[in-house]
Amino acid sequence: MDHLRIMGRGKVKKGFSLLCMVIISTVVLSRTVYGFELAGGDGSYTEQLLPVQLYIHEQGWETAVDLAEDMDEENSDRYPEAIMLVQDGLFSRPDLHYGVYVQEAGWQEMVSCGEVSCPIGNNRHLEALKIELGETASMQYDVEYRVYIRSLGWLDWARNGEVTGAAGLGAPIQNLEVRLLKKELLSGYSIERDTEEEQDSEERCTEITIPRLTGKTYIRGDGWEEYAIAGLTMGDIVGVNGIESFLLQWEQNPSSLNGELEYCAYYRDSGWNSDWNQTGEICGTEGNGRNIEAVRIRLTGELERFFDINYRVYSKRFGWLGWTSNGEPAGTSDGVSYLSGMQVFLSVKDSRLRDSDTSAFNVQRDLYWSVASIPETEEIVGFGGYELGSVRRSQLEKAIGELKNYKCGFVMIDTQTGKGVAYQADQEFYSASSIKGHFVLSLCANNAQAIKKSEGTIKSVLQYSSNEGYDGLFNTYGGKYFEQWQSEAGVSLKESMRGHYAMYTPRTFCRLWIRNWEFFEADETGDLVGSWMQKPNASAIHEALGEKYVTRSKAGWIGSSFVATCDGGVVYSESPYIITIMSDVPANMKRLYPIIEVLDKIHEEM
């Protein structure tokens, strides 16, 4: 029998109060979700240790194990020089961060799951540490950790960013334990019912159980997905198809609380459903090709008085939108976008999750929408509200004609207005080395340590298109950040990879460059990395426009096996704009100059 610690605190409306939290025992089942073993029957979770790697002085990496309470002579001189917490599939992207205090070096910069806490091989021991969760994860988890200090033994558990250890006292940490506590799913606590009939009676506690929330989605062309428990992603955010319908339900009915779980959907052609669907009912259609664009989810009765229902959606145009709750809309209403993913979970009242940086219900037509609106045609077209005049159209046709028997495609879009011009936006081309820019920017945006440790290599890839550097970065850090980058841009890498390279279209490359632009504009790190792309050794965009504007670009070229000349980047005119141009021209940047120069003239007139 394992003891379960039930987490959850919150304010309750008048007439009710949280009276106590209890420790309960239950048999633990074998299946694992979110890194926590599910407890039998009541939807609660055990405390689960998070895997920890320790770099032991003169021994190398070891997995943290349970050491005796009193360290024996055999390992009394054992001490780690660095730690690394293992990702273990808990979050969609690293959202757990830790920092260590190193002997004589002080506090090191916080790093994320899967990253080494500090440089190794310096013969310096760790004296203190702190671990914290990101905003999204902290609404569903608490993180607790404790350290074993020579001569002091195990210290008390610290929690959620608190410092533990003996910083500056010369006493090394010898062992570490980290555990995560699931707090969204509550069970086995009592409430006091304050009614007129009971005002003069002794306190009466009624134990209630809140079960796990589950749900599933019907994906256009693919059918029903498997059920996902609360907090996990329902749908398919990587694929190209959207959600046609969904349903939510409890695994068992909430005991001792009345009320319903209700939800509805928004469609382009009909707006919001007139009726709310209730627990277990299908909301939407199956096989009719009507994608859902927004949802609303709410609780009623006593469920609503005690809990918040929190949710966010994945829009194919915007990516993940902000968290909202309790019947507020989440999604879009522009008639173009649609949803391909959802996350939903329950929390104690007043602990709901909010994200001030991203609107949950987005009705603005932004750059991603503009690119999505480009017609699927082989003709030169204006988009985003721009109409191309006959003179400039003729100039573009002439520039394209100068390529003779070679094919090309391009997208040019103004970052402020979303207006642009495109040609053959959905023609596939080999990306060649132009893909390196997107990969490196995704790495720099998500792994600050990579910039510190590999700055020289990163610059050699961005400025000189180093194949060895790109291979080294890919082999060292893997493709997880790049996969996330593409997902955030609404790009599915369904095209077959050739080593670390791939086939793309001007439309998909433009979406990636919009994501790059967002990184450049986000903070000092993005601006710094972007500045390394201002003077590449080869770039049609830079060579054609570099004397007139500042440009940030990454080109690719190859003349054997696969043939391609491609380029993409940001042109910093008075109103910056993005160009992506791809072709099967064999390694010749000059052949693209005329097209780029005409696109610049068109932009000046927008």
Say whether 18 sits in a helix, a strand or coil.
strand
Of 32-36, 120-124, 312-316, 407-411, highest mean pLDDT:
407-411
Assign 252 a pLDDT band (cuts: 50, 70, 90).
low
Q: Is the pLDDT of residue 66 over 70?
A: no
Average pLDDT over residues 322-329: 86
Residue owning tokens 């979050």: 91
**Nearest alpha-carbon partner for 344 in 353, 336, 335:** 353
Q: Does the pLDDT value for residue 32 go beyond 50? A: no
The pLDDT mean for the chain works out to 78
Tokens 């002080």: give the residue.
106
pLDDT digits (tens, 9 = 90+) for 134-168: 766 776 678 889 988 877 788 888 888 888 888 77
Concatenated DSSP letters of 26-48:
EPEEEEEETTEEEETTT--B--E
Coil vs helix vs strand at 499: coil
Neighbouring C-beta atoms of residue 416, cutoff 10 Å:
12
Residue 459: count other Cβ atoms within 10 Å of its Cβ. 16
Q: What is the pLDDT of residue 391?
A: 93
Which residue matches tokens 């994501």?
515
pTM of the model: 0.47
**Beta-bridge mates of residue 62:** 54
Pairing outcome for strands 261-267 and 277-278: antiparallel
- 447 CB neighbour count, 10 Å cutoff: 20
- Is the pLDDT confidence value at 308 over 80? yes
State how far the Cα of 364 lies from the Cα of 372, in Å rounded to an integer: 14
Please state the rounded mean pLDDT for residues 96-108.
90
Which of 89, 50, 88 minimizes the C-alpha distance to 179? 50
pLDDT of residue 264: 94
Residue 256's pLDDT band, with cuts at 50, 70 and 90, is low
d(CA 166, CA 100): 11
C-alpha to C-alpha distance for 123 and 102, rounded to whole angstroms: 10
Q: How far is CA 255 from the centre of its chain?
A: 35
pLDDT of residue 4: 21
Q: State mean pLDDT over 11-22.
A: 26
pLDDT given for residue 12 in this prediction: 28
pLDDT digits (tens, 9 = 90+) for 492-515: 654 434 457 788 899 999 999 999
Lowest mean pLDDT among 83-92, 99-108, 325-334: 83-92
Q: pLDDT higher for 321 or 556?
A: 556
pLDDT at 14 over 80: no
Residues 584 and 430: their CA atoms lie apart, in Å, by: 8
Q: What one-letter code names the amino acid at 463?
A: Q
Structure tokens that stand for 297 in this block: 């989810």
Confidence of residue 445 (pLDDT cuts 50, 70, 90): very high
d(CA 409, CA 491): 18
Lowest average pLDDT, out of 37-51, 107-121, 217-231, 516-530, goes to 37-51
Q: At residue 543, does pLDDT exceed 90?
A: yes
pLDDT score at 8: 23
Q: What would the two tokens of residue 117 be?
A: 């806490």
Inform me whether the pLDDT recorded for 283 exceeds 50.
yes
- pLDDT single digits (tens) 377-400: 889 999 988 999 999 999 999 999
Of the pLDDT bands very low, low, confident and very high (cuts 50, 70, 90), residue 190 is: very low
Closest CA to 242 of 294, 312, 309: 294
pLDDT at 539: 95
Residue 65 has pLDDT above 50, yes or no: yes
| Mean predicted confidence (pLDDT) in 414-428 | 92
Q: How far apart are CA 258 and CA 482, in angstroms?
A: 46
Query: What is the distance between the alpha carbons of residues 533 and 554, in angstroms, rounded to a whole number?
Result: 7
